[in-house]
Amino acid sequence: MTTAIEVVPEYTESSGGGQARGMIWSVHMTMARVSFEAQYPDPRLPARLGRLVTPHGTLETPAFTVVGTQATVKGLLPAQVTQLGAQAVLCNTYHLYLRPGPDIVAAHGGLHGFMQWPGPMFTDSGGYQVFSLGSGMEQGIGKLVGTFPDEDVSRGRRPAGAGSHGKLSRVDDDGVTFRSHVDGSTQRLTPERSIEIQEKLGADVILAFDEPTSPLDDEEYTRQAMGRTHRWAERCLSARRRPDQALYGVVQGGAYQVLREESAAFIAGLPFDGFAIGGSLGRSKQDMAKVLDWSAPSLPADRPRHMLGIGEPEDFFACVERGIDTFDCVAPTRLARHGVLYTATGRITITQARFREDRGPIDAGCACSTCRDFTRAYLRHLFVADELLGYVLATIHNLHAILNLMARIRAAIAAGTLQALKADVLGRLGAAAPEGVAHA
């Protein structure tokens, strides 16, 4: 892997008709068959534009990576996902390990051949399942409900499943033993096994095996889990064999400043090709902003940075402002299947009775095919009648909304208008952006 840093002079038209000189800081990272380049249109700010070049295409960042947990974006053909503007998908190592198994996927030439996705692809490590089947199941913390416990309480919600299940996994310093949710069999994942599986799955970007923690875990346990994550990170680097995949290290440490800073420094000091920020982001979105402020500055600027499990508009702005390049989250597609749809002024639940005779589109300003061709009343009918087309049309809309927002964010960074876009988008949503970003 090689790195170069340069300052590129850029000339723009000044108000007086002459040329005004500005600077774009550019950083490059190259490795076997994968490379990354980032540019800072405003070198005073961390927000940046990037190009992650992989064997299966180039990812223009910042970018949202669509989650296709079991080698499918539920309800959509790969061509439809591409047409919506998706540049990359993320598949789940744990689920594909259990079913159909990595050898079957490898026999198809990897996930690209198996699911017929032509572009860049990520796989997670299975580490999140260590958490979700263990303390996450006990405490009711999940990808959607319970991610930020204080906000769930303020909305009158109890974390789903809290206290109602025992653990299905047990962690030790070597790895994790768990019971398969498919057939109840006992299975085991270690750092070496996770890398072996991900190399058979064949994604362009793979993640080191880690142990995420819950926002309800105390500092002592979070430190123990962080130590395991660090030792496992070193083992993942030793286990890798394929030079055509980028391996990302994962920063842990919960919502504890000293731990986040320690983890970011440790992981940044290892020869990873990129970095991900994972685990507990605290009890609220204000905590998430702090976690980013403690983590991102230590990560080398010449390598890509991924935020695990983040997919809401206000979160995108908070992350992009701190130099995050890519994101993944199940929220847009999972919410769609439950009839929860994005609009410029906030979410709506299409099954509500008030939409029974509504002849308008989901969102009057949306250019997606669902909004162009179908009414709210029709969408409501499909969901009430439990018709599969409802899930398809809702997923098309939600993904279009998120992917279109990311395209607007990229354009705003390039034009130097990110703050204006943020004010407009969040103002319409009535969303409060996390605090903590200093603007020049």
The tens digit of pLDDT for each residue in 242-261 reads: 999 999 999 999 999 999 99
The tens digit of pLDDT for each residue in 48-101 reads: 999 999 999 999 999 999 999 999 999 999 999 999 999 999 999 999 999 999
Measured distance CA(207)–CA(93) in Å, rounded: 10
Q: Using an 8 Å Cβ cutoff, are 285 and 261 in contact? A: no
pLDDT band at 314 (very low <50, low <70, confident <90, very high): confident
Mean pLDDT calculated for residue range 146-174: 59
The tens digit of pLDDT for each residue in 207-221 reads: 999 999 988 899 999
Identify the three-state secondary structure at position 361: coil
Q: Using an 8 Å Cβ cutoff, are 56 and 120 in contact? A: yes
The catalytic position among 204, 302, 328, 363 is 328
Has residue 160 got a pLDDT over 60?
no
DSSP conformational letter for 393 = H
Residue 392 to residues 25, 73, 185, 337, Cα–Cα distance (Å):
42, 10, 33, 8
Single-letter amino acid, residue 38: A
Task: Output Rg (C-alpha) for the chain, integer angstroms.
Answer: 21
Q: Give backbone dihedrals phi and psi of 38, rounded to 5 degrees, phi first.
A: -125, 145
The catalytic position among 124, 302, 325, 363 is 124
Measured distance CA(269)–CA(387) in Å, rounded: 51
Measured distance CA(393)–CA(370) in Å, rounded: 6
The tens digit of pLDDT for each residue in 97-130 reads: 999 999 999 999 999 999 999 999 999 999 887 6
First to last CA, the chain: 33
Q: Using an 8 Å Cβ cutoff, are 167 and 304 in contact? A: no
CATH 3.20.20.105 residue spans of the chain: 63-329
CA angle 126/402/406 to nearest 5° reads: 95
**Upstream peptide bond of 313 is cis (omega within 30 degrees of 0):** no
Residue 328: active-site member: yes
- Strand order across the 49-54 sheet: 2-13, 19-31, 34-40, 49-54, 57-61
Largest CA distance in the chain: 73
Q: Give backbone dihedrals phi and psi of 277, rounded to 5 degrees, phi first.
A: -105, 120
Please give the class, per CATH, of domain 63-329: alpha beta
More confident site: 164 or 117: 117
More confident site: 272 or 44: 272
Q: Among residues 269, 264, 265, which one has the least CA distance to residue 291? A: 264
